């Protein structure tokens, strides 16, 4: 029993990580039709930003409120990079979708190389607050606190995004834009502002995933974002592009399948099962579980 | 708005003026082929461009790798530039060729021709099966699905299931059963010719297909898929044919590549390689006759030479904030790629008509 609970909770921790990356990807894709390959870069910036701040920023450290400050710095850095990418690279190619995707591909290659040039290719130990190294006993399972932190953060982010989409004016514009962008533009609403906003939200969520993922894995390396990104893509497709709630469901399914099969089968088999799951979903329901709806 | 509105190739050049150059023009590819065939007989040294003289094994190997990737990019362009399918999993079929050949020769002890035949057949069937599933989606979803399938290949190779692939260390090719002419440093020239033959084959097949009625259907799919459906043709079937053919060509490239490099290493399964193929095609000019080949050759050349350039004294003496990024080939290539998407969307091949247009307008002043 303890093993099952432990696997379920670590699986949910992984799911939380996927959700944080996938929610932004899904919104950007739903609204702007851009498959953002540079999303892994935002994650890397968040992770390295937090790592750098914990060592160099006055007041920030690897523990207590200092760590919260370091994470805030990392998230701010990731958000800033995301906004810059949208304004400088994506916006000039407005509605030229393929070229926008190509630019993010180039950026993902160059950005990861830049991280590698600055901090080296090897993984660096991540500053972890002491309590995240400990475990909590839940129903007889000793669950690492780092994973629990991720789950709590993902639930909070999910709630915040849904509240924003449901109850604010910009949320309304984004929801309507995902449904039918041409119509929203025809009504005289500037969708480009919504693009920037969605990039900022996605960048912040991905940067948070980078910072907390660093706590979860204990290290940070330039390639980390790229490997997470592929599973986040799978989550987005299974969940239905443009749907935040769909991403949440799909992230939970993918995280749990991966964790359980990797434990009870061979290591690596879980990753393959996830792709098998993707193929099955596509054959049965090509639009994903939730389709292209940015609401509940 | 369609998802896959690939930039059309640069505007057609102005009607050719009757002249000596235009009479020779159709034969230029043959001339280029003859030059490439004869290249290993040259002992010319080009300091700065190649490390040794052209007929040295190191230079020939680099040239052979460039030619292979020229062919791979041309095959990938059959999907991207000519049919408008954005596949992010093309590296899988190349890797299937590399690992398939290597495993069949090294682990199963088959002779080269059997291993090559089995591998290419297997790679083609794999492309047909995975394509049949992936093509149920269109546009960006198709890109993500092909990426996911390619990721399975990367996981299978990295986790070393059944001890076949050698995991992170890769699998060196067992050369004892290979024909003597393909083994050893002195025979690099034969491998170079093999790579050239592969490039020629791919270019021939791609040009034949795109010139045929099927090719016109593929171009129609790129421009407007619904129109093809209205004409009573099945878009799914045509796309599957193109996908399978491109996969088969890529796995054939893998067979030649493993002979040249002498083994398989896991980095060829990475998604980075497919992204590189996309970069090559876009840099060269998607859907153009020679663009993808040029793009592939140039990209691979730069990728190899920039590593040497990055560790050279000229770069090391620069301040750290410049020399560190410049020592990363992918940083330079990624940046060049972004600039290319902005400033010459038709790729390298679109530069020639633009430059001639510019010189003509300058001359007429």
> Which pair of structure tokens corresponds to residue B131?
């394509």
Share of chain A above pLDDT 90, in %: 23
Mean pLDDT of chain A: 85
How far is the C-alpha of B97 from the C-alpha of B84, rounded, in Å?
24
Q: Which residues of B touch A282 (CB under 8 A)?
A: 133-134, 136-137, 145
Contacts of B151 (CB under 8 A, 6+ apart): A230, A271, A275, B271
pLDDT of the residue at A124: 82
Q: Which residues of A touch B161 (CB under 8 A)?
A: 266, 268
Higher pLDDT, B69 or B32: B69
Tell me, yes or no, if B21 comes closer than 8 A to chain A by beta carbon. Answer: no
DSSP state of B326: H
Residue A131 has pLDDT above 50, yes or no: yes
How far is the C-alpha of A147 from the C-alpha of A155, rounded, in Å?
13
pLDDT of the residue at B196: 93
CB contact under 8 A, B279 and A109: yes
Residue B153 has pLDDT above 90, yes or no: no
Q: Which of residues 53-112 of B touch A (CB under 8 A)?
A: 86
Distance from CA of A246 to the nearest CA of B (A): 15
Q: Do the Cβ atoms of B83 and B222 come closer than 8 Å?
A: yes
Q: Which residues of B touch A234 (CB under 8 A)?
A: 144, 148
Tell me, yes or no, if B143 comes closer than 8 A to chain A by beta carbon. Answer: yes
Taking residue B28's Cβ as centre, other Cβ atoms within 10 Å add up to 11
Reported confidence tier of residue B125, pLDDT bands at 50, 70, 90: very high
Share of chain A above pLDDT 70, in %: 96
Q: Which of residues 326-345 of B touch A (CB under 8 A)?
A: 327-331, 333-335, 337-338, 341-342, 345
pLDDT of the residue at B5: 46
> How much is the pTM?
0.85
Residue B14 has pLDDT above 70, yes or no: no
Q: Which residues of A touch B272 (CB under 8 A)?
A: 109, 226
Nearest to A245 by CA among A285, A281, A276, A289: A289
Tell me, yes or no, if B316 comes closer than 8 A to chain A by beta carbon. Answer: no
Q: Render pLDDT for B282-332 as a digit per residue (tens, 0 to 9).
A: 888 888 888 899 999 999 888 888 877 766 766 666 766 677 777 788 888
Nearest chain A residue to B84 by CA: give it.
Answer: A98
Q: Which residues of A touch B136 (CB under 8 A)?
A: 282-283, 286
Q: Which residues of B touch A279 (CB under 8 A)?
A: 133, 145
Q: Render pLDDT for A200-231 as a digit per residue (tens, 0 to 9).
A: 999 999 999 998 888 888 888 887 777 788 88
Q: Render pLDDT for B220-272 as a digit per residue (tens, 0 to 9).
A: 888 888 888 888 888 899 999 999 999 999 999 999 999 998 888 888 888 88
């Amino acid at each position: 029993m303890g093993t099952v609970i432990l696997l379920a909770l670590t699986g949910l921790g992984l799911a939380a990580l996927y959700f944080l990356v996938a929610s932004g990807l899904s919104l950007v894709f739903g609204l702007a039709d851009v498959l953002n390959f540079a999303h892994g870069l935002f994650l890397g910036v968040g992770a390295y930003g937090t790592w750098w701040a914990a060592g160099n920023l006055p007041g920030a450290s690897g523990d207590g409120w200092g760590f919260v400050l370091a994470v805030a710095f990392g998230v701010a850095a990731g958000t800033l990079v995301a906004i810059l990418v949208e304004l400088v690279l994506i916006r000039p190619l407005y509605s030229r979708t393929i070229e926008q995707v190509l630019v993010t591909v180039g950026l993902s290659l160059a950005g990861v190389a830049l991280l590698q040039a600055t901090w080296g290719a090897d993984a660096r130990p991540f500053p972890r607050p002491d309590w995240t190294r400990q475990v909590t006993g839940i129903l007889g399972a000793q669950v690492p606190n780092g994973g629990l932190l991720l789950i709590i953060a993902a639930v909070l982010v999910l709630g915040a995004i849904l509240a924003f989409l449901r109850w604010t004016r910009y949320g309304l514009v984004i929801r309507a834009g995902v449904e039918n962008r041409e119509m929203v533009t025809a009504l005289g609403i500037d969708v480009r502002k919504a693009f920037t906003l969605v990039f900022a939200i996605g960048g912040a969520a991905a940067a948070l995933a980078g910072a907390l993922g660093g706590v979860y894995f204990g290290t940070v390396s330039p390639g980390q974002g790229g490997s997470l990104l592929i599973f986040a893509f799978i989550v987005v497709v299974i969940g239905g592009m443009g749907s935040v709630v769909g991403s949440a469901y799909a992230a939970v399914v993918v995280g749990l399948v991966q964790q359980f099969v990797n434990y009870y089968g061979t290591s690596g088999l879980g990753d393959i099962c996830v792709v098998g799951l993707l193929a099955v979903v596509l054959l049965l329901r090509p639009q994903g579980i939730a389709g292209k709806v940015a609401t509940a | 708005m369609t998802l896959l509105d690939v930039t059309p190739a640069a505007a057609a050049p102005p009607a050719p003026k009757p002249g000596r150059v235009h009479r020779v023009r159709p034969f230029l590819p043959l001339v280029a082929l003859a030059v490439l065939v004869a290249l290993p007989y040259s002992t010319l040294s080009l300091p700065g461009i190649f490390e040794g003289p052209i007929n040295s094994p190191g230079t020939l190997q680099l040239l052979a790798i460039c030619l292979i990737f020229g062919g791979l990019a041309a095959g990938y362009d059959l999907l991207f530039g000519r049919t408008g399918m954005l596949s992010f999993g093309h590296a899988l079929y190349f890797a299937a060729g590399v690992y398939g050949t290597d495993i069949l020769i090294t682990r199963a002890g088959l002779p080269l021709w059997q291993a090559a035949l089995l591998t290419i057949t297997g790679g083609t069937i794999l492309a047909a099966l995975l394509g049949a599933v992936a093509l149920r989606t269109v546009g960006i979803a198709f890109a993500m699905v092909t990426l996911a399938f390619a990721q399975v290949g990367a996981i299978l190779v990295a986790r070393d299931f059944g001890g076949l692939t050698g995991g992170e260390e890769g699998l060196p090719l067992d050369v004892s059963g290979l024909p003597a002419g393909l083994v050893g440093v002195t025979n690099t020239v034969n491998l170079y010719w093999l790579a050239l033959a592969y490039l020629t084959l791919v270019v021939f097949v791609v040009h034949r297909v795109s010139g045929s009625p099927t090719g016109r259907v593929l171009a129609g799919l790129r421009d407007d898929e619904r129109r093809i459906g209205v004409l009573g043709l099945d878009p799914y079937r045509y796309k599957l044919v193109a996908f399978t053919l491109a996969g088969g060509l890529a796995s054939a490239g893998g067979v030649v590549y493993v002979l040249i490099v002498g083994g398989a290493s896991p980095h060829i399964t990475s998604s980075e390689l497919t992204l590189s193929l996309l970069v090559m095609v876009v840099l060269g000019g998607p859907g153009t006759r020679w663009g993808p080949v040029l793009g592939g050759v140039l990209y691979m050349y730069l990728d190899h030479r920039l590593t040497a350039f990055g560790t050279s004294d000229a770069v090391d003496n620069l301040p750290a904030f410049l020399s560190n990024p410049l020592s990363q080939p992918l940083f330079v290539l990624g940046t060049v790629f972004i600039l290319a998407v902005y400033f010459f969307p038709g790729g390298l091949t679109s530069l020639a008509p633009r430059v001639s247009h510019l010189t003509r307008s300058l001359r007429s002043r």
